[in-house]
Amino acid sequence: MKAIINAKIETISKGTVNDGVILVEGTRILETGNKVEIPDDTEIIDALGNYVTPGLVDAHTHLGAFEQDVPESFTDGNEMTSPITPQLRIIDSLTPQDTAFHDALAGGITCVQTLPGSANIIGGQGAIIKTTGKIVDEMVVKAPSSMKAALGENPISVYKKREMLPTTRMGNAASLREAFINTENYVKKATRTAEKGEVHERDLKRESLVPVLKGELPLSIHAHRSDDIVTAIRICEEFNLKFTIEHCTEGHLIPEYLGDRKIHAAVGPTLSSRSKLELKNKSWQTMKNLIEAGCHVCIITDHPVVPIEHLSLCASLAFKAGLSRQDSLGCITLYAAEHLGIQDRVGSIEKGKDADIVIWNGDPLDSRTTVMSTMINGEIVYSL
């Protein structure tokens, strides 16, 4: 058993606890508060009056697939051979040897969703993992976590030079629709075959989209421009899909439209440059405007676009731009966990949740602050 004492605890869900204690048993938080009885033989970790937060959660990264320190041509996140590749699973590309995992721990990030890239209209299944370990299967929190899709410039730029669909935004939308229509036909055919007592030939490509079509697996849709965001919503409403908008760069241009639909948006990588046309209206006001309109928002790095260790810096810049302190911290902890549907395990310091905890040497929203130690599943995995 471990006890973190003398802590200024940012619980995220239940306010700030000064001079608090967090009692950890095994991999879970057993108790937290001002008056916590610490059993004999408990290992004491003194926070020295510093801030303590839940482990940060980055809901959209390519950690372990777009490995840093290696040439781009060696990365494993984009299968650029067909615009529709739902049968791919990012878990088959992940390497725990990516040095960015250490950077994540040094930045207090304990849990991420890692996704295929955005070269294809449908890129494959993502996974939610903890940021420590040697065996990917043992790091997994949830796999598959979502189905990656992409609209806008990226798929067009890949397939236009090959003179194949899609070469326009019309082509993007048509390709996405066709994939789900083909899946509907696959399900109908499989049902008819089963009713006849015959064996239906499996098709991994269609089979992988069935949980999305049934609303069991969310579609994570890369969409920067406001028109692409609206197209994503139009298609998802057409097929009654569960979905999130990833990036949502121009969301602040249509906040009421998105707010009326209670859209879940993972906003970022706002710390990057305006490296393509879709990013010309990038703004640190986006998070604030969307939350005020009624959207659910989290902040992402899209690592390696923005190095993952800068997740807290992104939150501090959103705070500087007018986002409340509570929302700024929430966007990289609890709101991100809610975006991924794992808020029962991570994102706040509460009894029964995973003991993913970070001790800072100052305010986590101060860019000068560094991480003193990071705990995942009750074990210290990083110390300054």
Find the angle CA(376)-CA(310)-CA(97) to the nearest 5 degrees: 55
Pick out the chain residues at pLDDT < 70: none
Q: How far apart are CA 282 and CA 278, in angstroms?
A: 8
Q: What is the pLDDT of residue 75?
A: 84
The full set of domain ranges for the chain reads 1-54+349-384, 56-346
pTM of the predicted structure, to 2 decimals: 0.97
User: For the domain with range 56-346, which CATH number is right: 1.10.3720.10, 3.40.50.1700, 3.20.20.140, 3.40.50.740?
Assistant: 3.20.20.140
* Interhelix angle 169-195/204-213, nearest 10 degrees: 100
Find the angle CA(320)-CA(312)-CA(126) to the nearest 5 degrees: 125
- The CATH architecture to which 1-54+349-384 belongs is Roll (2.30)
